[in-house]
Amino acid sequence: MIATYIGTNVMMVKNPYVKHNREASKMRKILILVSLVLIIPSLASATTLVRDTLINESINNYLSDQFENHTILKKKYSKENNTLKLTISGKYLSKAELQSIINKQNEYGLKNISIQVSQLTNDRLTEKELVDYIIQYKNDDDLQQIEKDK
C-alpha to C-alpha distance for 66 and 55, rounded to whole angstroms? 16
CA distance to 35, 48, 112, per residue, from 84 (Å): 39, 19, 11
In-domain check, residue 95: yes
pLDDT tens digits for 84-137? 999 888 888 889 999 999 999 999 998 889 999 988 766 666 667 777 777 877
In-domain check, residue 145: yes
Q: What does the radius of gyration of the chain's CA atoms come to, in whole angstroms?
A: 26
Total domains in the chain come to 2
Whole domain around residue 39: which residue ranges? 2-44
Q: Is the pTM of this model over 0.95?
A: no
For residue 89, the SS3 value is strand
- Tell me: do 132 and 70 sit in the same domain: yes
Higher per-residue pLDDT: 5 or 115: 115
Q: What is the pLDDT of residue 97?
A: 92
- Tell me: do 6 and 75 sit in the same domain: no
- Tell me: do 128 and 62 sit in the same domain: yes
Q: Evaluate if residue 52 carries a pLDDT over 80.
A: yes
- Tell me: do 8 and 67 sit in the same domain: no
Q: What is the pLDDT of residue 143?
A: 64
